[in-house]
Amino acid sequence: MPSAYSEFLSGLSSAALHACDHPWVLWVILLAPLAGFVINIFFGRRLPLAGHVVPTLAVLISFALSLCVFKGVRHEMNPDFVRAGVGWQWFWIDAGDVQGLGNFQVKWGFLLDNLTAIMLVVVTTVSLLVHLFSIGYMHGDKRYGRFFAFLGIFTFSMLGLILTDNLFGIYIFWELVGLASYLLIGFWFEQPSPDPTGTAPVDYSMSPKDASMKAFLTTRVGDIGMFIGVMTVFYFTGGSFNFHEVFQAVAEGAFDRQYFHIPGLISIPVLTFAGVALFCGAIGKSAQFPLHIWLPDAMAGPTPVSALIHAATMVAAGVYLVARLFPLFDPNALLVIAYVGGFTAIFAATIALCAYDLKKVLAYSTISQLGYMILGLGVGAYAAGVFHLWTHAFFKALLFLGSGSVIHAVHSQSMRDMGGLRAKMPVTFLTMLIATIAIAGLGIPGIGSFHGFGLSGFYSKDAILGGVLHFAMDHKQHLLLAVFGFGGALLTAFYMFRMIYLTFTGTPRDPHKFEHAHESPTVMTFPLATLAILAIISGWSWHGVVPSSALDEEHGWFAGLVQKPILENYVGLDPADLAAARGEGHSEEEVEAEHRAHLIAMWASVIIAFTGFGFATRMYLQHKVSPEALASRFAPLHRALLAKWYMDDIVRGLIAQPCLRMTRFLFERVDKGVVDALVNGAGSLGAGIADFVGVFDNHVVDGAVNGTADRVAAGGAALQKVQSGRLRTYLALSIGLAMSVLVVFLISKARA
């Protein structure tokens, strides 16, 4: 880290060390953005301040305190650091605990460990920079204040998600970030196109209002799975949501030899079932195949939102969930996770190859990168997966904010309208280039004691690919995972540089738009520059490129803080045994094998990245190979890619429309056609009898009795409208019927 930054931190560090031992700091971090939301929504118009002031200040507070907490945690440098439990917990929902009747008590509390501290920094940093960027980007919008309020509630929900210490709480904040995402995607709800200036981008298929709904519903499909997972865990642990207690129960064998069993169909261990069900939540939120379909359309929201929510933080919540619940996943579940992640990584990358919408390229890139994180966690490269979350947050937020800067300048999202913007927007170009180099993983591979050198993505992607390769070498039947990983890396380098070339180099394809393009104001370029610095340096914490931040000569602070949690941790081992347990799985040979895998992976990935870069350069910079010629040679493939592998059509045809048909069938045919028809039939039968009896009644029984009782009861002339005779007859009929039934009852009773 740069020295000014460090000095600023060290000034706070003594306070920070103590601060992270008090939950009130976390309370302030959590509630400040919420306060920003409340103030803006309810008092925004009455305040003499611009709409961004209060929420931005609130996030600044959260950011500063998060750094304090982080500093304190980093100072501890203890992989098992955790603050939770007594003193950090409060009763929240108490439905009692009755012997033999089950219990339901939820304590809500904070959980502060290394993972939380790192996530705090990611979320508040990106959020703060996005707030700043939005001051410029959203300038002049008619709901300016509300935009910042929504950003505030998002930040609050996201912070709650990473601070909470139990499954129930995480589900709650999980849904709340979904709400924030819904509100922000649909921010320009009245518009058919996402562009505030009204020039409809060619490549857009979905309006903000449709996109927001699609996002909410698609992720909710995953949430059902997650909720079922939560309930399963709660049931089998004997009524616990708390992470620590859940892991303890798993370690103590609460799930052993329990099977989820449908006779003749399946029989899977409950732990696998619970793990996969919980992972469904991550599939939805982190846009993994097949629930990824919402994320590209979510780009209909304002671009800062795409950067904050749909690139850097919220979509990483699924990755965070997997990381947080890691001890819960058994090997089967992890394998599912790895395959979903790996397939998503390469699948989404293919779609990005042909996309012409700047933000859609980035959206598919995000999906693909999230796939990498999930893949990394799935193969057990725990720290690598989390590390990629950390680096990706910075360079992907940078890419999105950069694209926002471009869109702001040319009023279009289509790369067909761009080209040659390098001259007009030097800062944007340079920062986006840095992010592209980072995401593509270009760098100098290491050898011997030299660990290699590159920007942040170089290290994190490398760590994941090393982990995948190691896993694939150990389990030869899963070699496909390595193919996914390395194949995706090739495509990533290609499509990212294609994007850079199409946007910033060559001749302007729309001279008019080019004329009016200009570099964005400082309030927008400042976040770009800051993120660019982070995109460069955030990877150096892995191997300790900057000596001062090295834990030992091998690893930087990140690997020192984030280590794969082990289940034995939760059955009460003392720290010495714990260290032994951690070392156990790592025999001399294994460490050697891992090392070798990482070295191969590094060389392979760098060669692959440069290959992708080379292809893109030849096609889009030097124009040696014509993309059109390639497209026509592989026309069916090209069509499939343009149609995003027909996933939207499949979902529409196989799920959405049948569902709608089902609703209509149930209402028109069953509800109206059967249930109500029976009721009406019974009604008219009754009415017929009643009319007959009524006629009989009116003629035979004295008319004076007629209606007297009803008239009194109704108290007024209003009653004249009601067919009193018929009504009274109903009553008589029904009571008569009832009485006869009673008589039958009593007789049968007497006989028995």
Class of residue 588 by CB neighbours under 10 A (exposed 0-12, middle 13-18, buried 19+):
exposed
Q: Does 749 bind another protein (CB under 8 A)?
A: yes
Among 71-79, 80-88, 377-385, 721-729, which window interacts with another protein (CB under 8 A)?
721-729
Between 86 and 98, whose beta carbon lies closer to another protein? 98
CB of 697 to another protein, least distance (A): 18
Among 94-102, 130-138, 474-482, 633-641, which window interacts with another protein (CB under 8 A)?
94-102
Among 497-505, 516-524, 637-645, 742-750, which window interacts with another protein (CB under 8 A)?
742-750
Among 473-481, 494-502, 583-591, 669-677, which window interacts with another protein (CB under 8 A)?
669-677
Between 633 and 721, whose beta carbon lies closer to another protein? 721
Rounded (5°) CA angle 296-298-299: 75
Between 30 and 418, whose beta carbon lies closer to another protein? 30
CB of 256 to another protein, least distance (A): 19
Q: Does 628 bind another protein (CB under 8 A)?
A: no
The residues in 97-156 that bind another protein, with binding defined as CB under 8 A, are 97-98, 100-104
Residue from 50, 579, 654, 662 in contact with another protein (CB under 8 A): 662
CB of 418 within 8 A of CB of 410? Answer: yes
Cis amide bond preceding 290, omega within 30 = yes
Between 4 and 752, whose beta carbon lies closer to another protein? 752
The residues in 272-301 that bind another protein, with binding defined as CB under 8 A, are none
CB of 677 to another protein, least distance (A): 10
Q: Whole-angstrom Cα distance, residue 746 to residue 286?
A: 65
Give the contact letters, 320-339, x = binds to another protein (CB under 8 A), - = no: --------------------
CB of 137 to another protein, least distance (A): 22
CB of 178 to another protein, least distance (A): 8
Q: Whole-angstrom Cα distance, residue 36 to residue 641?
A: 43
CB of 128 to another protein, least distance (A): 24
Q: Does 57 bind another protein (CB under 8 A)?
A: no
What's the per-residue H, E or C state across 571-584?
HCCCHHHHHHHHHH
CA distances from 153 to 32, 144, 380 (A): 10, 15, 34
Q: Does 751 bind another protein (CB under 8 A)?
A: no
Task: At 91, list the tokens.
Answer: 């009763």
CA distances from 570 to 331, 483, 565, 748 (A): 18, 35, 10, 64
Q: Does 742 bind another protein (CB under 8 A)?
A: yes
Residue 194: DSSP 8-state: S
CB of 439 within 8 A of CB of 399? Answer: yes
Residues forming beta bridges with residue 453, ordered by sequence position: 444
Q: Does 718 bind another protein (CB under 8 A)?
A: yes
Between 632 and 734, whose beta carbon lies closer to another protein? 734
CB of 73 to another protein, least distance (A): 28
Task: At 466, list the tokens.
Answer: 């090393």
Residue from 660, 685, 689, 747 in contact with another protein (CB under 8 A): 660
CB of 502 to another protein, least distance (A): 33
CB of 246 to another protein, least distance (A): 15
Between 31 and 637, whose beta carbon lies closer to another protein? 31
Amino acid at 476: K
Between 477 and 748, whose beta carbon lies closer to another protein? 748
Residue 446: DSSP 8-state: P
The residues in 363-402 that bind another protein, with binding defined as CB under 8 A, are none
CB of 682 to another protein, least distance (A): 8
Q: Whole-angstrom Cα distance, residue 18 to residue 25?
A: 10
Residue from 11, 653, 683, 703 in contact with another protein (CB under 8 A): 683
Q: How many residues are given for the chain?
A: 752
Q: What is the DSSP string of 640-655?
A: HHHTGGGHHHHHIIII
Burial 650-675 (b: 16+ CB within 10 A, else e): ebeeeeeeeeeeeeeeeeeeeeeeee
Rounded (5°) CA angle 592-596-601: 150
Q: Does 265 bind another protein (CB under 8 A)?
A: no
Q: Does 45 bind another protein (CB under 8 A)?
A: no
Among residues 143, 80, 89, which one has the least CA distance to residue 111?
A: 89
CB of 466 to another protein, least distance (A): 39
The residues in 161-200 that bind another protein, with binding defined as CB under 8 A, are 168, 171-173, 175-176, 179, 182, 186, 189-190, 192
Q: Does 654 bind another protein (CB under 8 A)?
A: no
Q: Whole-angstrom Cα distance, residue 49 to residue 542?
A: 43
User: Within its chain, how far is the Cα of 289 from the centroid?
Assistant: 13
Q: Does 650 bind another protein (CB under 8 A)?
A: no
Amino acid at 741: V
CB of 99 to another protein, least distance (A): 10
CB of 604 within 8 A of CB of 465? Answer: yes
Beta-strand ranges (E) seen in 432-527 are 443-444, 453-454
User: Within its chain, how far is the Cα of 489 from the centroid?
Assistant: 23
The residues in 201-260 that bind another protein, with binding defined as CB under 8 A, are 207, 209-210, 213, 216-217, 220-221, 223-224, 227-228, 231-232, 234-235, 239
CB of 730 to another protein, least distance (A): 7
Between 286 and 724, whose beta carbon lies closer to another protein? 724
Kindly give, in sequence order, each residue whose CB lies less than 8 Å from that of residue 275, ignoring residues fewer than 6 positions away.
Answer: 229, 325, 328, 329, 330, 332, 333, 334, 336, 337
Q: Does 43 bind another protein (CB under 8 A)?
A: no
Q: Does 269 bind another protein (CB under 8 A)?
A: no
Q: Does 695 bind another protein (CB under 8 A)?
A: no
CA distances from 279 to 297, 334, 374, 388, 604 (A): 22, 10, 10, 19, 30
The residues in 463-492 that bind another protein, with binding defined as CB under 8 A, are none
Per rule CB under 8 A, count of chain residues that contact another protein: 78
CB of 86 to another protein, least distance (A): 20
Q: Does 719 bind another protein (CB under 8 A)?
A: yes
CB of 707 to another protein, least distance (A): 15
CB of 147 within 8 A of CB of 134? Answer: yes
CB of 683 to another protein, least distance (A): 6
**Residue 264: how many other CB atoms lie within 10 Å:** 6
CA distances from 498 to 139, 415, 493, 634 (A): 31, 10, 8, 18
Between 224 and 591, whose beta carbon lies closer to another protein? 224
CB of 92 to another protein, least distance (A): 7
Burial 147-169 (b: 16+ CB within 10 A, else e): bbbbbbbbbbbbbbbbbbbbbbb
Q: Give me the phi and psi of 86, to 5 degrees please.
A: -55, 135
Among 5-13, 85-93, 330-338, 573-581, which window interacts with another protein (CB under 8 A)?
85-93
